[in-house]
Amino acid sequence: MTDLLVIDHVAKSFAQTVAVRDVSFRVGAGEIFALLGPNGAGKTTTIRMVLNIFTPDRGTITLFGQPPGAQARDRIGYLPEERGLYRNLNLLDCLVYLAGLKGLPAGEARRRLSGWLERFDLANHTSKKVGDLSRGMQQKAQFIAALVHEPELLIVDEPFAALDPVNTRLIKDVFYERAAQGRTTIMSTHQMHLVEELAERLVMIHQGEVVLAGTVRAVRQQFAANAVLVEGQGQLERLPGVVAMEPQGENGTVLLRLADQTTPQQVFRALATQSAYTVEHFAVALPTLDEIFVRVVGGERAVEVGA
């Protein structure tokens, strides 16, 4: 996998505040990459450095094999967190203009836009003023504006905010399609379940520094406590090596916390060999990204787990 974007120890300060202290990560071509972090962590500043809006104080950024600059503009699509469209223009004119700024001739822009507007269920609203559209519609419109020129790199900040499940699905499909075409997407979002579902790799920034990086699976394993999730009958808390049992939700699943020297495999064997237990579901308990996020922001760092 070739690196489309390499960020190497960049730092950026404004007046007295340090926005980015030390951030490094790489994004490969064709990836769906998640950029996570609490509010004010430095995500937007990092994105703006990639877009050449800000120049880093220290460190280097390599985009398409070059420092970020004017030549990369037409190859990037950007959906900023603070949405903005020309409220007084009608939807189609607005999108044709924005596409024009990315170098698409008006005719070609109209042709491509008609497909996208149809797909995002906006085709009946093209002559309405942007300001009269609902927030979700405006967001979809802006999403279209970010990708109509088929950029090699799409950077989206909170792409799913204000969207219903149907539209969320539409955008996810676009991300998958782009990945299949070898086009890269970097998304910054707080919706962790979507990161788990979509992203291959992630980096999490907290207080201007990278606190987590890697594939989504590896990160979850790093944060796995020694515990298993079990759904079944029997006196599960009596199993050897189980130190605590916590009911999980309504469907009878329980979380069994294990003693340090006990492995999930030992528990599994014990369950399987004793007829007093019937097991419908057994899984190693992996924390959700949501939990990991809260724990990391709370000060916890990844633990090195053996095996």
Partner 1 sequence: MQRTLRVAGHEFLRHIRRPSFLFTTLFLPLVVGLVFLLSNFTDQRSTADAPAPETTAPTSGTPIGYVDASGLLPPPSAVATGRLQAFADEASAQTALQQSDIVGYYRVPADYLTGGMVGWVGNAETGPEGEAAMRELLRTALLRDNPVLATRLTTPPTFRTVPTEPDGGPGTATPDAQPNAGPVAFIIPYAFALILYVTIFSAASFLLQSVTEEKENRTIEIVLTSVRPLQLLAGKVLGLGLLGLVQVAIWLGSGLLLLQLSGVALPSGTALAIPWVVIALAIVYYVLGYLVYGSLLAAVGATVTNVREGSQLVGLLIIPCIIPLFFLGAIIAQPNSLLATVLSLVPFTAPITMMIRVPLTPIAPWEIAVSVVLLAVTAALLLWFAARLFRAGVLLAGQRLSARAVLRALRAA
**Of 101 and 243, which has the nearer Cβ to partner 1?**
101
Report the interface residues with partner 1, using CB under 8 A: 14-15, 48, 51-55, 70, 73-74, 76, 78, 80, 82-89, 97-98, 100-103, 142, 145-146
237: its two tokens: 């808390």
Nearer CB in complex with partner 1: 102/183: 102
Nearest to 47 by CA among 205, 211, 212: 205
**Per-residue DSSP letter, 74:** G
* Smallest separation (angstroms) from partner 1 to the CB of 95: 11
CB closer to partner 1, 94 vs 195: 94
CB of 191 to partner 1, least distance (A): 22
CB of 17 to partner 1, least distance (A): 9
Extract the tokens encoding 139: 């967001």
Neighbour count for residue 284 (Cβ, 10 Å)? 16
Q: Is 101 helix (H, G, I), strand (E, B) or coil?
A: helix
Give the nearer residue to partner 1 in terms of CB position, either 32 or 146.
146
CB of 115: closest distance to partner 1 in angstroms?
21
> Given the complex with partner 1, which of 73 and 257 has the nearer CB atom?
73
Minimum separation from the CB atom of position 146 to partner 1 (A): 8
